[in-house]
Structure 1
Amino acid sequence: MGDLRKGYLLALATFVIWGLFPFYFKALGQFSALEIIAQRAIWSALFGALALLFWRHPGWWRELLAHPRRLAVLTLSGLLIAGNWLIYVWAINNGHIIEASLGYYINPLVNILLGMLVLRERLRPLQWVAVLLAAGGVGLQLMTLGQLPWIALALALSFSVYGLLRKMAPVAALPGLVVETWLLLPIALVWVLLFGSGPSTEPAFWQTPEALWLIAAGPVTLIPLLCFNSAARYLPYSTLGFMQYIAPTLLLVFAVLVFGEAFPADKQMAFFFIWSGLAVYSYDTWRLLRKNRSKP
């Protein structure tokens, strides 16, 4: 019972931190999205290396070198997660928090589709209903706005494909993330040194209090991930799946109530279709779990 309680607290901490990200990125409004992502890669690589000194994963490096294909997959997954970060930060700082939250609501339903198309998994009837409802929500936005909700779709697709690639490269979460940031580090350094023009490219900037906000990108990235990994040891993965909706729900609430983004009726209707799909998906998952538990 104590482990279960610990798991719930760790999972709650994870998703609340992710849900509070808009406040952090709004505090970095003076920096461009590219500058934030470059610094995030640099400081995540540094703090990730330090984290590996405390959370040891014996033999992970030798195992990675013994399977070079995994290194190639981690390179691709690193580029994908960097693109996901870039779109997310740009969306937050340009008044598109609602659409960002929509992306993370769609994400589990995109996972279902990728499982069918790539892993040849068969969809259960209620999963088809969930996917079609989500598609209806996206289609509704296309009709009412005259354009695809590209931010939501890009966030959902990039994160779903990222998860699929990480499944293909079975490396523990922390070492995998650290390797991804190490592989991104040369790109980030080249951008900062040769193409960067923001405040962080000036040596004098690193003597100011504002520099601490960029340095914090390292722990801000790693702490919720470590909480998530710990929670996964104590909770069923399906429980984590249900709790993941805390983060996009907080994004939506903050977007409307704190940052004053418009949430007109047509967007509400699109969200209604997405939420209906998630409700069907959640019910189907709960029913399957209950059926499996009842088996002798």
Structure 2
Amino acid sequence: MLEKERQGVIWAIGAYLVWGVLPIYWKWLHNVPSDEIITSRVLWAFIFTLLFVLITRKTKLLIEDLMSLWQNQKAFWSLFFASALISGNWFLYIWAVNNNHLVETSLGYYINPLISVLLGIFFLKERLTTAQKIAFVIATIGVIILTISYGRFPWLAFSLAISFAIYGLMKKTIPLDAVRGLTIETLFIVPFAFIYYIYLFLSDRAVLFHDSFQTDVLLILTGAATAVPLVLFAKGAQQMPLYMIGFLQYIAPTCMLFLGVIIYGETFNPIDLLSFSLIWLALILFTVSKVMEARTRKLKLAKL
């Protein structure tokens, strides 16, 4: 059991490290407009995941998933909306990275778990412990200080956090295999991506096949860049406790923050440090309380 959990942790760390350094990949595509990158990402992610399903001989399961969704119209349209939502999240993320907003992007993914919990309270009637309530207050103070420092509300960070949190909430109500789920999600959006690519080619705005061979390869591999960390995460999540996943998820925004400040020279002044420190403190408090909660529940179950 411990060996299986250890392997799960390795897979999950791999996924979060890939997500954390992906901004470097998008920076390599700085000469490609964000709308074409997201169009390419949807198109090639669908092709890549569909090929993966075919190679692993899970086509029958994919068809069963589609039939099951169609029979449950609420789940079908919920997943369609979730697909549109994650596509919007991808677009914002890529635009932010290629317009030198990595620090604000990392902020968005730091506060995402806290917003997810708020959605859980409102929609799933989940309850918070005293420590978790204190964590929310501390994080809110950090965001308020950051907002005053910016002179504007950090809309980009919150747009990323809220869109991904709502996407996560909707996916929670529709249990699907990660790879087949992504195949279906991109299937919903791929017709729009295909039509938009036709428009780009007809209007001579397409970069694909009109730039360097390196750019073409990078655009085609956006599908793999999207699917590979998801596959790693799916393998990890199946073999480790949920609270451990919650703890490891901060690897990605930490990598983004490091890249933004150290590698790409984005500003990070003392006020930013104070605000982020409060948010980090809130996340540590929140995560520790979740770990203790999970262990208490596990002990209770062991006694039964």
Q: One fold, TM greater than 0.5?
A: yes
Q: Normalised by the size of structure 2, how large is the TM-score? A: 0.92
The counterpart of 1:79, out of the listed 80, 84, 89, is: 84
Is 1:44–1:218's contact at 8 Å kept on the other side of the alignment? yes
> Structure 1 stretches of 5 or more lacking a match?
none
User: Which residue in 2 is equivalent to 1:7?
Assistant: 8
User: Which residue in 2 is equivalent to 1:16?
Assistant: 17
Q: For 2:209 and 2:32, locate their aligned partners in 1 and report how far apart those are by CA, in whole Å.
A: 15
Superposed CA RMSD: 1.7
User: Which residue in 1 is equivalent to 2:184?
Assistant: 179
Is 2:32–2:207's contact at 8 Å kept on the other side of the alignment? no
Is 2:66–2:184's contact at 8 Å kept on the other side of the alignment? no
Aligned residues: 295
Aligned pairs for 1:15-54 within 5 A = 15-54=16-55
User: Which residue in 1 is equivalent to 2:206?
Assistant: 200
Letter matched to residue 15 of structure 1: Y
Aligned pairs for 1:150-229 within 5 A = 150-195=155-200, 200=206, 203-205=209-211, 208-229=213-234
Q: For 1:4 and 1:115, locate their aligned partners in 2 and report how far apart those are by CA, in whole Å.
A: 26
Is 2:26–2:97's contact at 8 Å kept on the other side of the alignment? yes
Q: For 2:37 and 2:209, locate their aligned partners in 1 and report how far apart those are by CA, in whole Å.
A: 16
Q: Does 1:265 align with 2:265?
A: no
Could you list the per-position Cα deviations for residues 226-275 of structure 1 after superposition, in whole angstroms to 9, with x for gaps in the alignment? 01000111111211110111111111111111111110011111101111
Quote the sequence identity (%).
34
Q: Normalised by the size of structure 1, how large is the TM-score? A: 0.94
Q: For 2:198 and 2:112, locate their aligned partners in 1 and report how far apart those are by CA, in whole Å.
A: 35
Give 1:2 shift.
3.1
Aligned pairs for 1:126-165 within 5 A = 126-165=131-170
What secondary structure is seen at the aligned counterpart in 2 of 1:171?
A: coil
Identify which range, 233-242 or 207-216, moves more after superposition: 207-216
Is 2:114–2:136's contact at 8 Å kept on the other side of the alignment? yes
Is 1:74–1:176's contact at 8 Å kept on the other side of the alignment? no
Give 1:222 shift.
0.4
Identify which range, 195-204 or 138-147, moves more after superposition: 195-204
Q: For 1:225 and 1:188, locate their aligned partners in 2 and report how far apart those are by CA, in whole Å.
A: 21
Q: For 1:203 and 1:16, locate their aligned partners in 2 and report how far apart those are by CA, in whole Å.
A: 30
Q: For 1:48 and 1:68, locate their aligned partners in 2 and report how far apart those are by CA, in whole Å.
A: 24
Q: For 1:233 and 1:189, locate their aligned partners in 2 and report how far apart those are by CA, in whole Å.
A: 34
User: Which residue in 1 is equivalent to 2:97?
Assistant: 92
Give 1:173 shift.
1.9
Q: For 2:8 and 2:208, locate their aligned partners in 1 and report how far apart those are by CA, in whole Å.
A: 43
| Pair 1:170–1:4, CA change in 2 (3 A) | closer
Is 1:45–1:185's contact at 8 Å kept on the other side of the alignment? yes
Q: For 2:166 and 2:27, locate their aligned partners in 1 and report how far apart those are by CA, in whole Å.
A: 27
> Structure 2 stretches of 5 or more lacking a match?
none
| Pair 1:126–1:194, CA change in 2 (3 A) | same
Q: For 1:103 and 1:203, locate their aligned partners in 2 and report how far apart those are by CA, in whole Å.
A: 34
Letter matched to residue 46 of structure 2: A
Give 1:62 shift.
2.5
Identify which range, 141-150 or 188-197, moves more after superposition: 188-197
Letter matched to residue 14 of structure 2: A
The counterpart of 2:249, out of the listed 239, 244, 249, is: 244
Is 1:192–1:201's contact at 8 Å kept on the other side of the alignment? no
Q: For 1:199 and 1:208, locate their aligned partners in 2 and report how far apart those are by CA, in whole Å.
A: 17
What secondary structure is seen at the aligned counterpart in 2 of 1:105?
A: helix
User: Which residue in 2 is equivalent to 1:284?
Assistant: 289
Is 1:77–1:162's contact at 8 Å kept on the other side of the alignment? yes
What secondary structure is seen at the aligned counterpart in 2 of 1:209?
A: helix
